[in-house]
Structure 1
């Protein structure tokens, strides 16, 4: 029994594969959901065998997730850490005052699989501030992963996402994900999903214990975030602007090949 990094990451975070999904935001970003359907849909996302018998999983990747913020910090604010860079974002309204960031610094995998895509910051005018742009970056990463999720064509909707990675250090960004995905987000005590999942493989192989039992005992919930209704409406409008710009970027990149 065993699995790849994301297969073990899912095992180390998800206790109920029929209703929970996984979001991981580090240098890159991943959204993952289990599936019982044997299907191979090309060009939108990945489809792999999981570490749980009887389940496969769908997975999409945003190549530049946390790295988008790191790129901005290195270029425009190298003397600041991430906490300083994001300290005033709560003062910026949802939608970043019309600024849109599309995080395609390395091209993109899901859902475009287009190495020629480029990142963009659009909607900037003379009245905008650095904080507008930083907030747009955080929103853009979450929007990109939502775009991936919506392309997965799941037979059952995810009721809860387990979220992991560097994003859990930023309460505002965590709440963004709950509001943008319109879904409850749960943070576990241990943020070592793949390594913990590999340990669970060993425990299950040796003792035959249920994954949900192991998670509940050794990696309980630390935080739960619910979507805020009034935020959802505002994010829906901003998300549509993001999708429109992403489609334009995708079309333009194909002309520049």
Structure 2
């Protein structure tokens, strides 16, 4: 029996899943790590920590197998971040990840210098994107920048640790803002306009392409046998789409994890003229996708629990908080939450946006705050869906995933805010499973992504919108849209 591994390098943990050649789930292991914030607005992680935790998780999975024969493995990873390597492929600086806000000045500079080329990239620039991060490093850390031999996206560093030369894939690379999404390669125009050396960017492959094998010495270290083919992989949103069976036009994936995302595949590189959303290459060859994001989704609720509610003597349980929120009526007696705790992406692209609770009253209790957070995140997701609709995208099926999808209340809230049924899968760890699907397709176990998802992905009964809630949320959403403009006048940077 041969096995396949899917490795998901997330923002707060790495997860490794294993499937057998029949498409059966076999094992899962995970390891956590922290986001480092040495200065307000910074978000960093150590690449070597990623590898240490990934190695541990792989070895734990292999230990469960009767024979650790691995046919192929592939990767999912947090998008946009920047890993800088020297000539010896050693990190020069901590990885600057997607949540980093330090490069807002550089983001403005990029708009001024390459505004005419942004439609080639399919997106407006945002802080935390590789393009803005590299300009910040060049300006503020010139000694580091001079020594850069390769810049990689986070998951691609793990391939180097497996003994492969630096490479990347079209899906993840298109999230850097340095990519031509139509040519599915680095943009010579954007690199030249920003004065970036093409030689520091690695070769690009389609996500289903075999790019090599795990080096012999690494296989021995891990206790791994078999062909151990390495397939290029993709960003976590692309892989989560595959792990949820979202591979074709008319399918929508809504995710509430640390951040919140709305994702739909398209067969042509349709770009929003106002650049409110992203158009990137999909992990499925010949496809692109639209992506909208609210930066602080599940993170809003965990912030509220850990920073406001928890104390040294009492730590709240998310399940109990969910139960308290269930007792609150839709609309929370007027309480509105704006989830802009670290700025906002869709549709504002505004690192200076700030969060708020609005319409506070003495009658509001803990459950009101929890439910208001859930509703505010839902409204943030609807912002992206409305842009999709404005561009003429129609949805036949909507899938809800991530940690938020495990809450029945949050499912009902989002279904009612979007006014559409939400399906959930029976898949464990959708992004890691999506990486496993890429490994299976790339190594020839399945002939296509669609064939693989039909075997690996099954759905539960949908969560339906509540008609009474739909009416309430339609009214509140109009107020939510006005709130950004009003709050922006009070936020820093104005």
Both structures adopt the same fold (TM-score exceeding 0.5): yes
Task: Tell whether 2:422 aligns with 1:185.
Answer: yes
- 2:348 is paired with a residue whose SS is coil
Instruction: Give the Cα–Cα distance (whole angstroms) in 2 for the partners of residues 69 and 127 of structure 1.
Output: 21
Aligned match of 1:225 in 463, 466, 490? 463
Instruction: Give the Cα–Cα distance (whole angstroms) in 1 for the partners of residues 488 and 338 of structure 2.
Output: 11
- 1:135 is paired with a residue whose SS is helix
Instruction: Give the Cα–Cα distance (whole angstroms) in 2 for the partners of residues 84 and 208 of structure 1.
Output: 43
Instruction: Give the Cα–Cα distance (whole angstroms) in 2 for the partners of residues 141 and 218 of structure 1.
Output: 29
Q: Relative contact order (C-alpha < 8 Å, sep 6+): which is higher?
A: 1
Instruction: Give the Cα–Cα distance (whole angstroms) in 2 for the partners of residues 38 and 145 of structure 1.
Output: 22
CA contact (8 A) 1:15 1:212 kept: no
Q: Give the corresponding residue for 2:267.
A: 36
Q: Give the corresponding residue for 2:280.
A: 48
Give the Å deviation of 1:15: 4.3
Aligned match of 2:317 in 47, 64, 81? 81
Q: Give the corresponding residue for 1:126.
A: 362
Q: How many residues align?
A: 256
Task: Tell whether 2:453 aligns with 1:215.
Answer: yes
> How has the CA–CA distance of structure 1 residues 14 and 115 changed in structure 2, closer, same or farther, with 3 Å as cutoff?
same
Instruction: Give the Cα–Cα distance (whole angstroms) in 2 for the partners of residues 124 and 98 of structure 1.
Output: 8
Q: Give the corresponding residue for 2:486.
A: 248
TM superposition score normalised by structure 2: 0.49
The unaligned stretches of length 5 or more in structure 1 are none
TM superposition score normalised by structure 1: 0.92
Give the Å deviation of 1:217: 2.1
Q: Give the corresponding residue for 2:393.
A: 156
Instruction: Give the Cα–Cα distance (whole angstroms) in 1 for the partners of residues 257 and 248 of structure 2.
Output: 22
More helix by share: 1
Q: Give the corresponding residue for 2:289.
A: 57
Give me the CA root mean square deviation: 1.8
CA contact (8 A) 2:441 2:447 kept: yes
CA contact (8 A) 2:301 2:370 kept: yes
Q: Give the corresponding residue for 2:181.
A: none
Give the Å deviation of 1:251: 4.4
After the TM superposition, which of the residue ranges 141-150 and 151-160 deviates more from structure 2? 151-160
Instruction: Give the Cα–Cα distance (whole angstroms) in 2 for the partners of residues 239 and 191 of structure 1.
Output: 32
- 1:163 is paired with a residue whose SS is strand
Give the Å deviation of 1:66: 0.6
Q: Give the corresponding residue for 2:439.
A: 202
1:11-51 Cα shifts (integer Å, max 9, x gaps): 22134522211111111111111122323335311110001
CA contact (8 A) 1:163 1:187 kept: yes
Give the Å deviation of 1:252: 4.0
After the TM superposition, which of the residue ranges 82-91 and 112-121 deviates more from structure 2? 82-91
> How has the CA–CA distance of structure 1 residues 218 and 208 changed in structure 2, closer, same or farther, with 3 Å as cutoff?
closer
Instruction: Give the Cα–Cα distance (whole angstroms) in 2 for the partners of residues 31 and 106 of structure 1.
Output: 18
1:102-152 Cα shifts (integer Å, max 9, x gaps): 000001111111111100000011222221121111100011011122123
CA contact (8 A) 1:159 1:184 kept: no
Q: Give the corresponding residue for 2:237.
A: 6
Instruction: Give the Cα–Cα distance (whole angstroms) in 1 for the partners of residues 302 and 439 of structure 2.
Output: 35
Give the Å deviation of 1:81: 1.2
- 2:323 is paired with a residue whose SS is coil
The structure number with the bigger radius of gyration is 2
Q: Give the corresponding residue for 2:474.
A: 236
Instruction: Give the Cα–Cα distance (whole angstroms) in 2 for the partners of residues 15 and 74 of structure 1.
Output: 33
CA contact (8 A) 1:159 1:183 kept: no
CA contact (8 A) 1:108 1:117 kept: yes
After the TM superposition, which of the residue ranges 120-129 and 190-199 deviates more from structure 2? 190-199
Give the Å deviation of 1:229: 2.1
Q: Give the corresponding residue for 2:379.
A: 143
Q: Give the corresponding residue for 1:94.
A: 330
